[in-house]
Chain A
């Protein structure tokens, strides 16, 4: 029933990644200052953008849940946040590798994106412990939604605050995504699209798996065994 759309999503994700990777390594020109290392930009920044959007979307889905009291919104919110957390881990890892290559340290404090991410990661890492600390499923979903909304509003504020606090002595290592020349912008956008597709696909798989497990549990209860 849902397999056609899942299949379509998966195929388009793989295709998008093939196109994106070809563009990154064969089309995009070598950047003057950083050289070949700059290629990480096409991986790290789309991951960051998708992850942050995922957290904010999780907050929006949580608002829908609190308004409609439909548990399906809570499920979507949970999956979005969980997936964004995994993508967030990837952001931190790739960012750390980039920092190491650029600066010689595995961590740098003067890169606002990376630092904001660490804070947000630490915050959302408490999402699952919070959920598992509440036994009643209805209350769990409700409290989780409150958290998702608060944390979702926190994401942009945190970004602003950390950016303000970054030292201006060192230029930003990882660079901004503005003032990109044409071919680089195209490559970046395609990579961003591929990453967004990957996020959507993995979320769909996760949702399908969870729904199946819920159905299974309901059926086995009806049939009389655990």
Chain B
């Protein structure tokens, strides 16, 4: 397939009625969804880690109070 500029750089509006724009959108949305799902999973993990850190700090403070 030879790449060639079929028309001069056009604006988005002129191409939207194209029937293929649905597929293009779908591809970009799939990509975006994957990235966002990943970020969401990381956020959940971060929440878990923060909770553990808080628990640990609380128990450490308790231990210090006991040993005093």
State yes or no: do A and B touch (Cβ within 8 Å).
yes
Asked if residues B1 and A213 are in contact (CB atoms below 8 Å), the reply is: no
Q: B27, A94: Cβ atoms under 8 Å?
A: yes
**Contact call B27/A198, Cβ cutoff below 8 A:** no
Q: Determine if B68 is an interface residue (Cβ-Cβ < 8 Å).
A: no
Asked whether A39 is an interface residue with its Cβ less than 8 Å from the other chain, the reply is: yes
Report yes or no: B42 in contact with A33, Cβ–Cβ below 8 A. Answer: no
Tell whether, in the assembled complex, residue B5 and residue A209 are in contact, meaning their CB atoms are under 8 Å apart: no
Q: Do the beta carbons of A213 and B49 come within 8 Å of each other?
A: yes
Closest to A95 in B: B27
| Set of chain A residues within 8 Å of B35, measured between Cβ atoms | 198, 202
Q: Is A168 positioned at the interface, with any CB of B under 8 Å from its CB?
A: no
Is B23 a contact partner of A97 (Cβ separation < 8 A)?
A: yes
Q: Are A223 and B6 neighbours in the complex by a CB distance under 8 Å?
A: no
- Taking CB as reference atom, which chain B residue is nearest A37? B20
Q: Return chain A residues, CB-CB under 8 Å to B60.
A: 223
The answer to the question of B67 belonging to the interface, with a C-beta cut-off of 8 Å to chain A, is: no
What residues of chain B lie closer than 8 Å to A34, measured between beta carbons? 1
A97 contacts across to B, CB distance below 8 A: 23, 26-27, 30
A162 at the interface (CB under 8 A from B): no
Contact pattern, B 48-63, Cβ under 8 Å of A = 1, otherwise 0: 0100110010011001
CA separation between A213 and B30, bound complex, in Å?
A: 30
Q: Which of B13-28 contact A (CB under 8 A)?
A: 15, 18, 20-21, 23-24, 26-28
B6 adjacent to A30 (CB under 8 Å):
yes
- Stretch of A121-129, A133-141, A179-187 at the chain-chain interface: A179-187
A26/B20 contact (C-beta < 8 A), A90-B30, A93-B30, A184-B3 known: no
* Chain B residues with CB under 8 A of A28: 9
Q: Does A219 contact B (CB under 8 A)?
A: yes
6 contacting pairs across A/B (C-beta < 8 A):
A30-B5, A30-B6, A30-B15, A37-B20, A183-B5, A183-B9
The 7 closest A-B pairs by CB, nearest first: A32-B6, A101-B23, A29-B5, A37-B20, A175-B1, A36-B18, A94-B27
Since A40-B23, A220-B56 are in contact, a sample of 13 more A-B pairs with Cβ atoms closer than 8 Å, ordered by chain A residue number, is A27-B9, A31-B3, A35-B18, A35-B20, A40-B27, A90-B30, A98-B23, A101-B20, A181-B4, A209-B42, A212-B49, A216-B56, A219-B56
